[in-house]
A and B are shown apart, each in its own frame.
Chain A
Amino acid sequence: MSAVISARGLTKRYGKRVAVDGIDFEIAAGRIVGLIGPNGSGKTTTLKAALGLITFEGELSVLDLDPRTQRDELMKDVCFIADVAILPRWLRVKDAVDFVAGVHPRFDRSKAERYIAHTKLTPTMKVKEMSKGMIVQLHLALVMAIDARLLVLDEPTLGLDIIYRKQFYQNLLEDYFDEHKTIVITTHQVEEVEHILTDLLFIRDGKIALAASMDEIGERYVEVMVAGDKVAAARALQPIDERTVFGKSVMLFDALRAGGLSRTQLAALGEVRNPSVADLFVATMKGTYA
């Protein structure tokens, strides 16, 4: 089976500004990919291209379909939550469930109703009577009940409180995800998704800054809490990032970049651990805001 999303030289220009600059990437089936980048880096544009919402240059196939010309076909197997999407104010909970059940062949009504039962939503409630968090809960309940092969979540948990966010990602992993499905997530709250991701895709200025599986990242990037007397020796190994925590230097090393650094070698410098995605992100994006 070929990749779920495959991009070759994907480019999107808005006038003179290049939002996505000839990127190549592949996303395989059965993965949960974190698409992570600063604001304006091109991640939403990339997703919109994949969902057939905008025109673009280059090649892009999603589930072996061209999102530009075969969008209607594509949407039977793809579902998404766009970062700015909101439900219309006049929509009632029960009407929303009826509607999606009516138009979507892969919608499981009982599943949606089960999710809704865990919230404070009532069947006759209208969206305009809901809090921001409740609207997101309804939207997620609808989308999570769709058995889509590709689910794209662009900032899905904006406006949700932390308890529900944790719950949502747990549901996503336990109840929704299986080896036939693929999920692409963008979010600013990286620390909340990193434990469920299988792959990372860092995007910066319209280009892919890093594309790797979490396993590869675990092997490649090492964070060392450097002992006080070994700071100079550690710096000689060219860490890609250095910060200070409680007076101790914490350095991030790329095992590939320095040409064969081993864990044992680094362990001699101090306590070794896997970096968090957030720290890795900050290190990779260094200078973006400068």
Chain B
Amino acid sequence: MTTPMSTMKWLIRRELWEHKGAFFWAPLIVAAVLVLLFGGGFLYAIIANPSFHVQVKGEEVLAVNGLPPAVLAKLAAAAASSYLVITAPLFFVLPVVVFFYCMAALYDDRRDRSILFWKSLPMSDAQTVLSKVATALLVAPLATMAIGFAASLILLVIGLLGGAIKGINLIAPVLANVDFYLAPVYLLSFLPLYILWALPTVGWLLLVSSWAKSRVFLWAVGAPLVALAILAWFDFLAGRFAGVSMNVKWFGEEIVARVLLGVFPGIWFGEVDGAALAQQQAGLDGPLLLGTSYATLGTPGVWIAAAAGCAMIYGAIRLRRWRDEG
């Protein structure tokens, strides 16, 4: 049976066949490097140093008999709430992968003419484009989160076991800490926000990918930057000779940044008052981070940009339908 859902499943599978390297191997390799670097380094430190030093605010607190209970509790809380932070580099790889994926998504098969093979099969251009949107906004972040979670767990286990060997047994307090179980839930809760913020960038890149005859990167990145430069120059001249000023900063932040940087996780922190977040102690405060992040939805900008992203995706579908591939 073929249904729209099953066709979508196959279309997404097709994207994964084509981009297995970018979506799985790239984060896997980065995760492996992290595990080797941090895990290996930690193990080496344990083996190499007979006495283990823990410094809290510059003072050595480690005693032969272990840590004072208060410090122990603090350490356990930090480990339980922040163990996912160690995989942050993965979330720098993700936007790069998604960015280049979107630029290629509707261009590569036009360049090598395999589009005519795909178009000979019963699937609509809307399905094709939406499968690429779903791959960029759901599959890629979920894969990165899953790999990040797995790598974090491995590192946490190494850390806890290493600590236990050295007499700092945090295993029980970490496992008893509810944050340990909630951390992946918090991480997952960022996904809807990420999708909203990434929509304008994904839409813009797919539009250019669907439209450009060549040099997708130049159009996708160059066009907004050149527009910004021209506007800035015009503003400079207008301000100097006519005493008029345009809001170039607004154009840069609301248009250029949104269509180019939206795929970076945490881009929304640019709109957040940092003071509240700086108060965190003993690891990350998941609910606080989520709360302040989702508070950015209170401004209309992100919604308008997401709507514009959807409009550009629609444009990409129309272009895909009617572009004459010769």
Chain A interfacial positions (CB closer than 8 Å to B) = 48, 51, 53-55, 71-72, 75-76, 79-82, 84-92, 95, 98-100, 102-105, 139, 143
Minimum CB–CB distance from A253 to chain B (whole Å) comes to 40
In whole angstroms, how far apart are the Cα atoms of A100 and B114 in the complex?
14
Residue B65 CB within 8 A of the other chain: no
Do the beta carbons of B322 and A99 come within 8 Å of each other? no
**Chain B 295-326 near chain A by CB (<8 Å), digits 1 or 0:** 00000000000000000000000000110111
Beta-carbon nearest neighbor of B118 in chain A: A88
Among B3-11, B50-58, B245-253, B257-265, the one that faces the other chain is: B3-11
Within 8 A of A (CB), among B1-24: 1-2, 6-7, 9-11, 13-14, 17-18
Do the beta carbons of B112 and A53 come within 8 Å of each other? no
Contacts of A88 in B (CB 8 A): 18, 108-109, 112, 114, 117
Do the beta carbons of A87 and B114 come within 8 Å of each other? yes
Contacts of B113 in A (CB 8 A): 82, 84-86
Contacts of A82 in B (CB 8 A): 113, 116, 120
Minimum CB–CB distance from B112 to chain A (whole Å) comes to 6
Known: A75-B123, A102-B7. 14 other contacts (CB 8 A): A72-B122, A80-B120, A85-B116, A86-B114, A87-B117, A88-B109, A89-B112, A90-B17, A99-B10, A99-B13, A100-B121, A103-B6, A103-B11, A143-B120
Residue B169 CB within 8 A of the other chain: no
Contacts of B124 in A (CB 8 A): 71-72
Residue B119 CB within 8 A of the other chain: yes
Contacts of B17 in A (CB 8 A): 90-92, 95
Do the beta carbons of B121 and A104 come within 8 Å of each other? yes
Minimum CB–CB distance from B141 to chain A (whole Å) comes to 23
In whole angstroms, how far apart are the Cα atoms of A1 and B310 in the complex?
43
Beta-carbon nearest neighbor of A152 in chain B: B120
26 A-B residue pairings within 8 Å (CB atoms): A53-B116, A54-B322, A54-B324, A55-B322, A71-B124, A75-B119, A75-B121, A75-B122, A75-B123, A76-B122, A80-B120, A81-B120, A82-B116, A85-B114, A85-B116, A86-B117, A87-B114, A87-B117, A88-B112, A98-B10, A102-B10, A103-B122, A104-B122, A105-B1, A105-B122, A139-B117
Chain B interfacial positions (CB closer than 8 Å to A) = 1-2, 6-7, 9-11, 13-14, 17-18, 108-109, 112-114, 116-117, 119-124, 321-322, 324-326
Beta-carbon nearest neighbor of B114 in chain A: A88
Most buried by A among B11, B120, B123, B124: B120
Contacts of B122 in A (CB 8 A): 72, 75-76, 103-105
Most buried by B among A48, A76, A99, A103: A103
Do the beta carbons of B324 and A53 come within 8 Å of each other? yes
Contacts of A71 in B (CB 8 A): 124, 321
Do the beta carbons of B112 and A102 come within 8 Å of each other? no
Beta-carbon nearest neighbor of A126 in chain B: B17
Do the beta carbons of B2 and A85 come within 8 Å of each other? no
Contacts of A48 in B (CB 8 A): 324
Beta-carbon nearest neighbor of B8 in chain A: A103
Contacts of B116 in A (CB 8 A): 53, 82, 84-85
In whole angstroms, how far apart are the Cα atoms of A86 and B69 in the complex?
68
In whole angstroms, how far apart are the Cα atoms of A50 and B121 in the complex?
15
In whole angstroms, how far apart are the Cα atoms of A41 and B123 in the complex?
30
Contacts of A103 in B (CB 8 A): 2, 6-7, 10-11, 121-123
In whole angstroms, how far apart are the Cα atoms of A258 and B239 in the complex?
84
In whole angstroms, how far apart are the Cα atoms of A139 and B113 in the complex?
13
Minimum CB–CB distance from A262 to chain B (whole Å) comes to 47
Minimum CB–CB distance from B3 to chain A (whole Å) comes to 10
Minimum CB–CB distance from A60 to chain B (whole Å) comes to 16
Contacts of B18 in A (CB 8 A): 88, 90
Minimum CB–CB distance from B59 to chain A (whole Å) comes to 57
In whole angstroms, how far apart are the Cα atoms of A91 and B10 in the complex?
13
Minimum CB–CB distance from B321 to chain A (whole Å) comes to 8
Do the beta carbons of B109 and A102 come within 8 Å of each other? no
Contacts of A81 in B (CB 8 A): 120
Minimum CB–CB distance from B277 to chain A (whole Å) comes to 43
Do the beta carbons of A79 and B120 come within 8 Å of each other? yes
Most buried by A among B1, B6, B11, B116: B116
Beta-carbon nearest neighbor of B3 in chain A: A105
Do the beta carbons of A102 and B2 come within 8 Å of each other? yes
Do the beta carbons of A85 and B117 come within 8 Å of each other? yes
In whole angstroms, how far apart are the Cα atoms of A76 and B124 in the complex?
11
Contacts of B6 in A (CB 8 A): 102-103
